[in-house]
Structure formats: structure tokens, C-alpha cells
Structure 1
Amino acid sequence: MKLNVIKDNPGSSKKRMRVGRGIGSGKGKTAGRGVKGQKARSGVAIKGFEGGQMPLHRRLPKRGFVNVFRIELNELNLDRLQSAIDAKKIDIKNEITNEGLVEAGVLSKKRGGLKLLGKGKFTAKANFVVAAASKSAIEAVEKAGGSVKVVPVKKPVEEKPKKKA
């Protein structure tokens, strides 16, 4: 077989229709859009529109709950932390915090804080300052000779500017 002989199967690919190229093309003048009206124009957005009737997505009741005070935490397992310590990314002489892990490249974003999870083996004697920690993680760190200090994080409340009388 030669690369310069290879061809598609007959009928497998079609040339695209070039619209608006004259009456003889079969898709000239209105380019297959019909005549007048909103759909003939560009920028049509009629997704949930029901001819003036209240759309279904607005007639149905809203369900569920969105907690605006939710704080997203970085979750970190002990085995990943141990491998970072073994690779000398983290200095265990200092307290290990969320910010320190972001600077070391173990975590990508700072988020709201750090949650320590207990998956894997942990042998380093290290002190942690975290937003939350699982029981198994605390036990594993204390068994290795370290400590875990849990400092709960609160979402900062934005103060509204006071109106002048």
C-alpha cells in the first residue's frame, strides 16, 4: 500500500452546502431560513419561549437548597502528604498549613482551608494547622508523634455600605 494512493470510500464525505450564493445554488436568497420573522434573523434565542405563555421551567416549583455560607476546603490524604514529605517538598520542622502546601506545589488553590483525611500510611513527625480533620487522620498523625490543631474557618462577611441620610 502506498500513502499517495489512499482515498476515502466513495460517498463517505460530502462537500458542505454554501448558502446564500445565488438562486441557482438551491440555497440562495434566504439561505434556507425561510422568509422574515425572528428565526430568519441572526442571534435567535427562543430556547424556553412558549409563545408568551409562562414557560415550563418557570411554572414548576424550585427545589433544593443552596448554602451561600458553604466553605470549600482542600482535601488532602495522608499518603499524598507523606510522599510530598519524602520528596522534600515540605519542611516538617515548621507547622504545615494550607498556605504552605500551596506554596510547595502540593495543592493547586488556596480555597477556604485544608481538611486532613486519613487514607494511607503516615510516619513523619509533623505539626498541622488545619480547618478540619477526620478522626482517623488525627489518630495517625498523633501515632507518628505529631499534632493536629483544628482552627475552624469562617467565611468573611461582606459589609454593605451604609446609606447617608
Structure 2
Amino acid sequence: MNLSNLKPAAGATRNNKRLGRGEGSGGGGTATRGHKGAKSRSGYSRKSGFEGGQMPLQRRVPKFGFTNINRVEFKGINLDVLQSLLEGGAVTSMDQAYFVGAGLVSKNAKIKILGRGELTTALEVHAHAFSKSAVEAIEKAGGKVVTL
């Protein structure tokens, strides 16, 4: 095998339709574009969302609500998730880098520890925010809470 005899697998390619090349070709005359009108002309392009002059859906449906530009999005991690991570190996401290390494958050995400589940091991947890129940549970297990 060499470059001079390479070709696609059988059935992998098709010939182009040659439109407007005479009546005998089957695609002559109107070149499958119907008769006259803007859509049959070259250079025609329809505006996206145009509905023939009818009020388009985008304008019929009202606007509502607003987006608060100062909102801070936290990625929530529950205590039961921390407990399941502990069962994987001996860990005394969990911080942003640890959570990123475990695949729980992206490197720029803000983390909030939430109180679902139980924690049985003393653990130092570093995060951007904690729920009250999570702080109580971590300190009850003999751990420490560090707010970033």
C-alpha cells in the first residue's frame, strides 16, 4: 500500500448532484427549486425566525424576570459525599485542590459544604461557604472548618 493507491472504502462517498445541466440530466430547468419567486434565485437567504410576516414566536412571547449580575454560584458538596471520599483512603484535610482532583468541581468553582448525611471521621475542610448543619456535624465529629 502507498499514497498512489489509497481510496475511500466502497460506499463511503457519493457523487454530487449536478443541477441545472440540461433536461436530460433530470435536474435541469428549475434545478429542483420550483418555479420563480425569491427562493429560486441565487443569493436568497431568509432571516432566522422569520415567519412570513406573521409576528414571530420570539416577539409574541413576553419577556420576564431578570438576571442578577452579582449572584455568586456555589457548587454544593454534601457530608455523605465527603464520607464516601474518606473511605477511599486516609485523608485528614480536604481543600479545593482535593475536590478538583476527585472530579467533584472545576478549578474555578466556589464550594459550599452542605449538611446531608453523616460524618464519622475527624476532618479539616476548606471551602468558600458552609451550611450551619454542616459546620455542626464536622465539629461534632472532631473536625475543623476553614472558610476560604
TM-score range, shorter chain: 0.5 to 0.7
Alpha-carbon spacing, 1:27–1:131, altered in 2? closer, same or farther (3 Å): same
Could you tell me which of 91, 102, 107 is aligned with 1:105?
102
2:5 maps to what in 1? none
Q: Give 1:51 shift.
A: 6.1
How does 1:13-162 map onto structure 2 within 5 Å? 20=19, 23-24=23-24, 26-35=26-35, 38-40=38-40, 41=42, 44-49=45-50, 55=56, 57-58=58-59, 61-88=62-89, 91-92=91-92, 94=93, 96-102=94-100, 104-151=101-148
> 1: CA distance between counterparts of 2:138 and 2:62?
48
Give the TM-score normalised by the residue count of structure 2: 0.65
Q: Give 1:87 shift.
A: 0.7
The answer to whether the 8 Å contact 1:97/1:114 transfers is: no
| Alignment size in residue pairs | 130
* Identity value in percent: 45
Gaps of 5+ in 1: 1-17, 152-165
> 1: CA distance between counterparts of 2:47 and 2:36?
16
Give the TM-score normalised by the residue count of structure 1: 0.59
> 1: CA distance between counterparts of 2:120 and 2:43?
64
